């Protein structure tokens, strides 16, 4: 099939590349000339495992092309996917300005039947507005359909998620659109859920909000674990083995981030309110998420006392492993707060570049290419992303390089018994602290011999 994908970000590029790999002829469009020039040179604008290889293969065999010319793409395609960003407005509402602009552009170009598919995550009833906009702007006799086909891929595993989805949701208004989309997705051999457009839009917001709820729930349980000396890893395991609950998204940490969960939860709350419903659960989910980062900062202060002029090493900046995406990453809010208190931040991430991070945050941050150089002469080490690289380090070496053996781990990547034996003061989330140096509750200070047990 001939397909256009408008917006070559994380979703658009993966969608375009994967559809091409399935044998379709795909033109990907972006308004950003630099992105398109780079893609035409084989440079992929972000890190996503396996994506570059699929793009190279399919551009070589002429099934995948990149352009800034939306007209060329729309005229040569039967199905047009809208995959532009839908960021958050100041009030939590989804900003649909890019969706509207692209819709209007498509309307002015089409001269015969097209199926226009919203793949961007949008609030319920956006499809109605997309249809209305096209009717308003397109020439009178043009026939078209609008469908919703939300995307569920997760960054870092996007190709696999696209090629082997749990389900494909298509919200359609008639059999023609259903047939076209079913045909397109047939090679994936996945369950296809056919709904109306409103329901499809709601499935996406409800799914992401539910996953965010699971995360905030387990982070709340982690707080109770900390207050009772219980272990959240064991509690999660005990809960997750119940097939009604499931193991996924039950990992305690410093809260969800990324370009989707924070924005989709807020947008769902907003659209619900607009329709006359207060989504109290989701308000709480969002609040709990903010508190996770506040609690983490408290742990840093409780163990360093004064932040000013302390050297604080940070491992992990991306919002999760497998990606260089730092949109709404907990690292940003945590580092900002530490910089406000005049800490010296020494940072390392396997994928996030210095230039990229410094576009999001100002201040005294030193970047390192080497895991160990980051911690040399540091007063503590913070772990903010659970990259595998961090799990496999030489912990004895880590201890010898730090000014004091203090690790505050927001992702629970190390075994507490092992850390105890190695003599670290190790503070994680929802698990007992080992080798505590200061106990505020009992007004006690323990040994502060920095390098014992090396
Ligand atoms: N990133 C994810 O993991 C993910 C997963 C599922 C769904 N989604 C949703 O998919 C949508 C896109 O997300 P993303 O992360 O790919 O966004 P993104 O910001 O990475 O990419 C959006 C792209 O659209 C382009 N664009 C904007 N206006 C344009 C126009 N008029 N013409 C051509 N191109 C235009 C931008 O230049 C940008 O390259 C969002 O609604 C998001 O919520 C994202």
Walk along the chain (454 residues) and give the pLDDT tens digit of each residue. 999 999 999 999 999 999 999 999 999 999 999 999 999 999 999 999 999 999 999 999 999 999 999 999 999 999 999 999 999 999 999 999 999 999 999 999 999 999 999 999 999 999 999 999 999 999 888 999 999 999 999 999 999 999 999 999 999 999 999 999 999 999 999 999 999 999 999 999 999 999 999 999 999 999 999 999 999 999 999 999 999 999 999 999 999 999 999 999 999 999 999 999 999 999 999 999 999 999 999 999 999 999 999 999 999 999 999 999 999 999 999 999 999 999 999 999 999 999 989 888 888 899 999 999 999 999 999 999 999 999 999 999 999 999 999 999 999 999 999 999 999 999 999 999 998 876 666 666 664 444 443 3
pLDDT score, position 441: 61
98 lines ligand 1 (CB under 6 A): yes
CB count within 10 Å of CB 50 equals 14
Residues in the chain, overall count: 454
pLDDT score, position 444: 65
pLDDT score, position 45: 94
29 lines ligand 1 (CB under 6 A): yes
How far apart, in whole angstroms, are the C-alpha atoms of residue 132 and residue 213?
34
| Cα angle 358-94-200, degrees, rounded to a multiple of 5 | 120
Pocket test for ligand 1, best of 5, 12, 109 (most atoms within 8 A of CB): 12
133 lines ligand 1 (CB under 6 A): no
| Cα angle 233-248-225, degrees, rounded to a multiple of 5 | 25
How far apart, in whole angstroms, are the C-alpha atoms of residue 320 and residue 328?
11
C-alpha pair distances (Å), 172 with each of 99, 181, 199, 391: 18, 9, 10, 46
- DSSP assignment letter at 187: G
30 lines ligand 1 (CB under 6 A): yes
78 burial type by CB count under 10 A (0-12 exposed, 13-18 middle, 19+ buried): middle
How far apart, in whole angstroms, are the C-alpha atoms of residue 38 and residue 66?
10
pLDDT score, position 29: 98
pLDDT score, position 452: 44
CA of 178 to the centre of ligand 1 (A): 24
Quote the strand ranges of 119-267, DSSP E. Answer: 144-148, 168-171, 192-195
pLDDT score, position 442: 64
Q: Can you list the domains of the chain with their CATH numbers?
A: 2-194 (3.40.50.720), 204-286 (1.10.1040.10), 289-445 (3.40.50.720)
Q: Which atom of ligand 1 lies closest to the CA of 102?
A: 31
CA of 118 to the centre of ligand 1 (A): 11
How far apart, in whole angstroms, are the C-alpha atoms of residue 12 and residue 15?
5
Record the pTM.
0.94
CA of 83 to the centre of ligand 1 (A): 5
CA of 117 to the centre of ligand 1 (A): 14
pLDDT score, position 450: 44
pLDDT score, position 364: 81
Clarify whether 18 is annotated catalytic.
Answer: no
Residue nearest to atom 4 of ligand 1 (CA): 11
pLDDT score, position 440: 60
Q: Are 96 and 124 in contact, with CB atoms under 8 Å apart?
A: no
9 lines ligand 1 (CB under 6 A): yes
- Region of 194 on the Ramachandran plot (φ > 0 left; ψ -120 to 50 alpha; else beta): beta
pLDDT score, position 445: 61
Which residue is it, tokens 């939300």? 150
pLDDT score, position 359: 87
What SS3 class is residue 331?
helix
C-alpha pair distances (Å), 453 with each of 2, 77, 132, 236, 239: 65, 67, 70, 32, 36
Q: Are 34 and 28 in contact, with CB atoms under 8 Å apart?
A: no
Q: Which of 18, 28, 225, 260 is catalytic?
A: 260
């Amino acid at each position: 099939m001939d397909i256009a994908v408008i917006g070559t970000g994380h979703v658009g590029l993966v969608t375009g590349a994967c559809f091409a790999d399935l044998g379709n002829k795909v033109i990907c469009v972006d308004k950003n000339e630099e992105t398109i020039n780079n893609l035409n040179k084989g440079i992929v604008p972000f890190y996503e495992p396996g994506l570059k290889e699929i793009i190279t293969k399919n551009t070589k065999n002429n099934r995948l092309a990149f352009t800034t010319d939306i007209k060329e793409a729309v005229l040569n395609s039967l199905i047009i996917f809208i995959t532009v960003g839908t960021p958050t407005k100041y009030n939590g509402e989804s900003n649909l300005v890019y969706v509207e602009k692209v819709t209007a552009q498509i309307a002015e170009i089409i001269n015969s039947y097209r199926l226009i598919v919203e793949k961007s995550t949008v609030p319920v009833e956006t499809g109605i507005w997309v249809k209305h906009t096209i009717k308003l702007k397109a020439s009178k006799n043009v026939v078209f359909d609008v469908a919703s086909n939300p995307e569920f891929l997760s960054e870092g595993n996007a190709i696999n998620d696209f090629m082997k989805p749990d389900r494909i949701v298509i919200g359609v208004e008639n059999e023609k659109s259903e047939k076209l989309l079913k045909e397109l997705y047939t090679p994936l051999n996945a369950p296809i859920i056919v709904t109306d457009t409103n329901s499809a839009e709601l499935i996406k917001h409800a799914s992401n909000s539910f996953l965010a709820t699971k995360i905030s729930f387990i982070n709340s349980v982690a707080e109770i674990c900390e207050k009772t000396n219980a272990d959240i890893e064991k509690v999660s395991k005990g809960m997750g083995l119940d097939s009604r609950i499931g193991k996924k998204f039950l990992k305690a940490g410093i809260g969800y981030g990324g370009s989707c969960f924070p924005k989709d939860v807020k947008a769902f709350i907003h659209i619900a309110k607009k329709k006359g419903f207060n989504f109290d659960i989701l308000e709480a989910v969002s609040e709990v998420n903010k508190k996770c980062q506040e609690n983490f900062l408290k742990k840093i202060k409780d163990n360093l006392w004064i932040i000013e002029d302390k050297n604080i090493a940070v491992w992990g900046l991306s919002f999760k492993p497998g990606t260089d995406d730092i949109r709404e990453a907990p690292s940003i809010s945590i580092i900002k707060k530490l910089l406000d208190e005049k800490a010296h931040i020494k940072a390392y991430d396997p994928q996030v570049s210095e230039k990229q991070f410094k576009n999001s945050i100002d201040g005294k941050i030193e970047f390192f290419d080497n895991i160990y150089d980051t911690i040399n002469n540091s007063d503590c080490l913070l772990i903010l992303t659970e990259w595998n690289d961090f799990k496999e380090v030489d912990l004895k070496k880590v201890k010898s390089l730090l000014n004091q053996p203090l690790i505050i781990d927001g992702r629970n990547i190390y075994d507490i018994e092992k850390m105890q034996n190695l003599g670290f003061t190790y503070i994680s989330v929802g698990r007992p602290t080992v080798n505590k140096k200061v106990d505020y509750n009992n007004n006690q200070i323990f040994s502060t011999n920095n390098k014992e047990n090396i």
